[in-house]
Chain A
Amino acid sequence: MLNLTTLVLQIAVIIVVARTVGVLFRQIGQPQVVGEMVAGILLGPSLLGWAAPAASAALFPSSSLGYLNALSQVGLILFMFLVGLDLNPNELKKEKHAAILTSHVSIVAPFFLAALLALYLYPRLSDESVTFTGFALFLGAAMSITAFPVLARILTERNMQRTTLGTVALACAAVDDVTGWCVLAYIVIVVRAHQSTRPLWLTLTGSLTFALVMIYGVRRLLRGFEVTFRKQRHLSENLIALIVLLALLSAFITEWLGIHVLFGSFLMGAIMPKDRTFVRYLTSKLESTAVVLLLPVFFALTGLRTSISLVKGPALWFCCALIILVAIAGKFGGSMIAARIT
């Protein structure tokens, strides 16, 4: 059962530690979001759980992480809606060739390198209950997926989200991740057929249909918000609530389709009217709750669930280093070559 005192204390501790470490990271020229994830690692089993297990168990009992996760996902939905809202479609149109090629190469290049790496890792890190195909596809999907919220946060922190570079990067990340989730859905079918909740064709056709309906249908209806805003110079609380509701509904649909909540909210934000005053007004209404209160919980939770002590011995550290190296080479190298060509 939810212990409200524990939840409030957890949020308070996360905000204090995430803000502190985030500021320290900014001072050394690193994104604040990386500091927030490191804060999560410090509060998780890797440091607090290791140094003070009793305090860690009292502050972050494993039964409470579900509530914290749910709260952080709401923050993520709001944040990705705001990122989509700030997306500049005109910049994207100008650079569509670069976006298409870069996004596809940044999926395929790490996927290929991951498959090669799987030849080395499979006899060492897998066991007979997993097929090579399942292992290689999983490794490929893990390496080709972009940390979309992290990228969005870095671009937002550096005020680059409306620049050509920021817009193309966000579009590439969105394409990458939708593809990645489809590949994951396929892997679930290949590896764990009996646990699959919905068929792959439904995920693929459903996602495509949903995107087309949103872009060519729902977008026109949303212009009403901008018209009302122009007339009244503000939006009523009911209209703000309706916009949030639409973002939640869109997130619900993409989650149900087997991709992730974040794509639904991002897409809803992306098809919203793009008048600068309207965008600024809507952002000011939602930004603080999402970015200051809920989002640090999301990023800190990533670190909280990381246990570095599970990587034991030089052989596993070597595998870990190899995976990181191949992931960076595939993602960075692939994107860079494609971006240079276009």
Chain B
Amino acid sequence: MATSKEKLFVSYALLVGIPLLGVVSVLGAGRSLTAPLSVAGSWDLQIDSSFPQPQSCITSLGFHNPTVLDISQSGRYLTLTLNGQPKVELEGTLQGKTVAANLATPFKASCDGAARLSLTAEVDSKAAPRMMSGILKFDGCASCGSVNFQAVRQGLPTAKRSE
């Protein structure tokens, strides 16, 4: 019959040793995984200068050039805040290099009633500092349609993997 010390030793090997080996194996297996690009931080967003309509959706949202775009990131899930007057918050995702975000509720534009704002952009992961370019689209507003923009990330170096 096994003594209590032998029982402890066997239990220890089974319950501690095997999971520990499992942790080491999982850490090895996970090295091949890739995480989404890093886009978190503040960006200087420059709206296409050929879009200076005084009563456009842009002015309704209090944008000026450049406007600061703050991105809060949890992996592929993003919250984008356009720091106009008032601040506008969009919810979005990052798929590969593409950022897609929407304003959940329509806003009242001075040009053409209510409109919905959506943002689509492509991130240039090789640029340092990181850049993206894309379109702000005003769905439901016949006068504005969409406007191109470019954004440059402030202050953060391009992230590098150490693995």
Query: A residues engaging B (CB < 8 A)?
Result: 97, 100-101, 104-105, 108-109, 111-112, 115-116, 118-119, 121-133, 135-137, 140, 312-313, 315-316, 334, 337-338, 341-342
CA–CA, A140 to B22, complex, Å? 12
B35 to A316, Cβ gap below 8 A? no
Query: B residues engaging A (CB < 8 A)?
Result: 4-5, 7-8, 11-12, 15-16, 19-20, 22-23, 26-27, 29-31, 33-40, 73-77, 79, 91, 159, 161-163
CA–CA, A155 to B159, complex, Å? 46
State how many angstroms separate the Cβ of A14 from the closest Cβ of chain B: 28
B79 to A118, Cβ gap below 8 A? no
State how many angstroms separate the Cβ of B17 from the closest Cβ of chain A: 9
A313 to B11, Cβ gap below 8 A? no
Question: With a CB–CB cut-off of 8 A, which chain B residues contact A127?
Answer: 35-40, 73, 75, 159
Given that A123-B36, A126-B75, A128-B34 are contacting pairs, would A112 and B8 also be in contact in the complex, using a CB cutoff of 8 Å?
Answer: no
State how many angstroms separate the Cβ of B152 from the closest Cβ of chain A: 18
Given that A101-B11, A133-B31 are contacting pairs, would A109 and B19 also be in contact in the complex, using a CB cutoff of 8 Å?
Answer: yes
B8 to A100, Cβ gap below 8 A? yes
Question: Is chain B's binding surface mostly helix, strand, loop or mixed?
Answer: mixed
State how many angstroms separate the Cβ of A341 from the closest Cβ of chain B: 5
CA–CA, A109 to B33, complex, Å? 23
State how many angstroms separate the Cβ of B37 from the closest Cβ of chain A: 6
CA–CA, A115 to B26, complex, Å? 6
Question: With a CB–CB cut-off of 8 A, which chain B residues contact A124?
Answer: 75-77
Given that A105-B15, A124-B76, A140-B23 are contacting pairs, would A119 and B33 also be in contact in the complex, using a CB cutoff of 8 Å?
Answer: yes
A–B Cβ pairs within 8 angstroms, 7 of them? A112-B23, A119-B29, A124-B75, A137-B27, A312-B79, A341-B15, A342-B8
State how many angstroms separate the Cβ of B25 from the closest Cβ of chain A: 9
Question: With a CB–CB cut-off of 8 A, which chain A residues contact B26?
Answer: 112, 115-116, 118-119, 136
CA–CA, A125 to B35, complex, Å? 8
Name the CB-closest residue of B to A118.
B30
CA–CA, A334 to B16, complex, Å? 10
Question: With a CB–CB cut-off of 8 A, which chain A residues contact B35?
Answer: 122-123, 126-128, 130, 132, 135
CA–CA, A116 to B5, complex, Å? 31
Residue in B11, B74, B79 whose CB lies within 8 Å of A342: B11
State how many angstroms separate the Cβ of A104 from the closest Cβ of chain B: 5
A123 to B33, Cβ gap below 8 A? yes
A108 to B15, Cβ gap below 8 A? yes
Across the A-B interface, give the 3 residue pairs with the lowest CB-CB distance, nearest first: A125-B75, A129-B159, A112-B19
State how many angstroms separate the Cβ of A136 from the closest Cβ of chain B: 6
Name the CB-closest residue of B to A311.
B74
Question: With a CB–CB cut-off of 8 A, which chain B residues contact A119?
Answer: 26, 29-30, 33
